[in-house]
Structure 1
């Protein structure tokens, strides 16, 4: 028997991993750790819940992919799990991490060194474990080419409409809701469906849709058609919705038909770059811009500008981060959630819109609303966990729970933002046709 095997037999897994956990999360993160041999750390004094490490493969994931990707692989594979209030547990682990306080769960240099030593003692330094099958690894073609964008969109959205219905609820809207009731007063007691309806209506009003004139609206990245349906049903708008997801397009068409709006709404399986030679009175871009990328931002806004008539308006609703953030292939979100996704600083969004010829008239931040939205989605997922696993598989369900909870914390602490930026194409004499105040939007 080798020395490493003898040492592993002489001490518990908890004893072996104690230095690693101290280096990664500090002396007292308020979370208990339980291991596959039955040993534990901090079980008696845990305030928030228990992180269960079910096999040494979880340690292998950390050693071969230090940081959030390795941690993510451990959770997606089921070799590690969080048992308790996922929001409080993740907040506690993030805030206790001595090397990146508040920035996320990861491993600093000291923790990586400890992980290698612990893995050697536990016999976990063999060949790297196979990543969970839900991970997107092959990316053919240049960044943000049509083919690669279509593959990235399919990876995220074509995972089953029934799964999304379970998570999102009856509104089938996969973007930040707006929890504001009568008189625009904040109301965190609103249902998700009502808050999504309030968001759609706010966008319609910002875009100046008028039921008396039958305006033509383009909804870029239309999802399952909720915005298109609201605009047509409420404002008699003629809507073209485009998406790269086949499953979204199929269900969106069914929903439009069920609402009796097929004469007003057309859903296309198309790339925004295919929209040439058409004219619209307004464009809504809701949760779409995150997939465009900074290198394509100028092209995107120029395309939107050419599609609008004079005095036409664009509402860009997108997640942002200070200085921008690219979801690389070394990140959990980049591999499992939004391949090739990019969050662009709202200041750069405004500048890109202005350079494309838009007059920017309004910027509104809604990050607290997105935190509430995500908490609602996590609640839906956890409440119907067994059904979610049946529909999409255990790995996919774990991905969504982890990324949505982490994102909610990001919106709560301000590391993530959500902004609606409203621009208008000025008329020939510079007349915007815009009301003088926000109140005039109704």
Structure 2
């Protein structure tokens, strides 16, 4: 029996709608609409993984292992895969469901869905309770300590791993990232001699930009040893060792305030709901009165029952272990509860989709090098998560926001411009002379 035609028919029974992609099975058979991208099952193990762990994680394991692939437009294929994973399923009679599962198992060559070990790139958690310092270090290392050369390939010369800021005149990813760094500096109203703390400093791009163009004294902290080593090399190359310090340090261990400004760019997603108020309190305490915070954070839509929130299983197992997304309103409320005055919120949702598509393009253009620098599975993880994330931003399932907040002064004075959006105008910030 040809595998692909039977599988698409069985899948259609589960979905209550025709199979949305073309399917090619391990026996070479194909079925499904010819104009659609091809979902390739290279081995019966792919079907076994999906049957044993129905949903996103089983499909992700097959993808990472190279047993499942896509030919054609990846973004269009992911839209079709979303129908397979999250499509509305009409109730199926118990006997019919059991018969369909048994037939798929027979096609996979196994009478029972014997579990396969997950790919080696899947995290094995240890290190204590979720969001304890030790476990956070493990989670950060899993994602960031995969090789600076790999990140150079994906991110490009800017080495900025967060949403860029685009406009109609932007020609390159590097220009868009430079615009984002400068926007942060202007929002923070940085002046020569200010003391800046960058929480989750990555490879040092923001602290370097702030020191070079705004004359600040900057401290960058990260839990990634590889990031810190790379950032220190950049600081030394630019001869900024007297103004920029890079530390391997947890935000909970930083105690040498006060700072005039704190930036947290794409880091707060790692904090977790149980620690977020502690995070907000800590940053508030590190700022002097009148000090400014720029919190740049991915957000999700609120749920009718917030206790039902669960992290995306693929992202949690392979990309950002223990990462959590919160609704924007909750983040603003927790910052206010900690004592901050929230002065501005700007959504950059569409900008992140554009950024992710550029990162995917970089990865695909140097695919052989990406595999050589990490592993085939790791390269496949990054391609899948960045492309799928681009679609999530484009469809509004998630967003990203810059929240500007200040630690109030006793007399209410503010260092910010009188017009709330004056800092967004190029050249509107207070640069070092």
Q: Same fold (TM over 0.5)?
A: yes
Give 2:141's aligned residue: 154
Using the alignment, how far apart are the partners of 2:102 and 2:171 within structure 1?
Answer: 48
Give 1:440's aligned residue: 422
Matching of residue 204 in structure 1 with residue 185 in structure 2: yes
Using the alignment, how far apart are the partners of 1:98 and 1:109 within structure 2?
Answer: 16
Give 2:23's aligned residue: 33
The alpha carbon displacement at 1:432 in A equals: 2.5
Using the alignment, how far apart are the partners of 2:52 and 2:293 within structure 1?
Answer: 45
Following superposition of structure 1 onto structure 2, how do residues 280-359 of structure 1 map, counting pairs within 5 Å?
Answer: 280-323=259-302, 331-359=313-341
Judging changes above 3 Å, is the alpha-carbon distance between structure 1 residues 337 and 137 closer, same or farther for their aligned structure 2 residues? same
Using the alignment, how far apart are the partners of 1:30 and 1:59 within structure 2?
Answer: 17
The alpha carbon displacement at 1:126 in A equals: 4.8
Using the alignment, how far apart are the partners of 1:274 and 1:156 within structure 2?
Answer: 21
Matching of residue 428 in structure 1 with residue 410 in structure 2: yes
The alpha carbon displacement at 1:276 in A equals: 1.4
Give 1:402's aligned residue: 384
SS, match of residue 223 in structure 1:
coil
Using the alignment, how far apart are the partners of 1:331 and 1:133 within structure 2?
Answer: 16
User: Number of residue pairs matched?
Assistant: 416
SS, match of residue 245 in structure 2:
strand
CA RMSD, 1 decimal: 2.1
Give 1:4's aligned residue: none
SS, match of residue 88 in structure 1:
helix
Deviations 1:357-397 (A, max 9, x none): 10000000001000000000000011111110011110000
Give 2:114's aligned residue: 127
Matching of residue 12 in structure 1 with residue 2 in structure 2: yes
Give 1:140's aligned residue: 127
The alpha carbon displacement at 1:116 in A equals: 5.0
Following superposition of structure 1 onto structure 2, how do residues 41-440 of structure 1 map, counting pairs within 5 Å?
Answer: 41-42=31-32, 45-94=33-82, 96-97=83-84, 99-100=86-87, 114-115=100-101, 117-124=103-110, 125-180=112-167, 186-187=168-169, 189-210=170-191, 213-323=192-302, 331-440=313-422
The alpha carbon displacement at 1:138 in A equals: 2.5
Q: List runs of 5+ in structure 1 lacking aligned partners.
A: 1-10, 102-106, 181-185
Using the alignment, how far apart are the partners of 2:102 and 2:416 within structure 1?
Answer: 61
SS, match of residue 343 in structure 1:
coil
1:301–1:353: 8 Å Cα contact kept in structure 2?
A: yes
Mean Cα deviation higher: 46-55 or 238-247? 46-55
Q: List runs of 5+ in structure 2 lacking aligned partners.
A: 429-433
Using the alignment, how far apart are the partners of 2:341 and 2:351 within structure 1?
Answer: 26
Using the alignment, how far apart are the partners of 1:22 and 1:254 within structure 2?
Answer: 55
1:13–1:122: 8 Å Cα contact kept in structure 2?
A: no
2:264–2:294: 8 Å Cα contact kept in structure 1?
A: yes
Deviations 1:172-202 (A, max 9, x none): 111000003xxxxx44x53111101100100
2:150–2:370: 8 Å Cα contact kept in structure 1?
A: yes
Judging changes above 3 Å, is the alpha-carbon distance between structure 1 residues 244 and 115 closer, same or farther for their aligned structure 2 residues? farther
Using the alignment, how far apart are the partners of 1:238 and 1:57 within structure 2?
Answer: 55
Runs (4+) off by over 6 Å: 324-327
The alpha carbon displacement at 1:20 in A equals: 3.3
1:32–1:51: 8 Å Cα contact kept in structure 2?
A: yes
SS, match of residue 332 in structure 1:
helix
SS, match of residue 91 in structure 1:
helix
SS, match of residue 242 in structure 2:
coil
The alpha carbon displacement at 1:139 in A equals: 3.0
The alpha carbon displacement at 1:119 in A equals: 1.5
Judging changes above 3 Å, is the alpha-carbon distance between structure 1 residues 327 and 290 closer, same or farther for their aligned structure 2 residues? farther
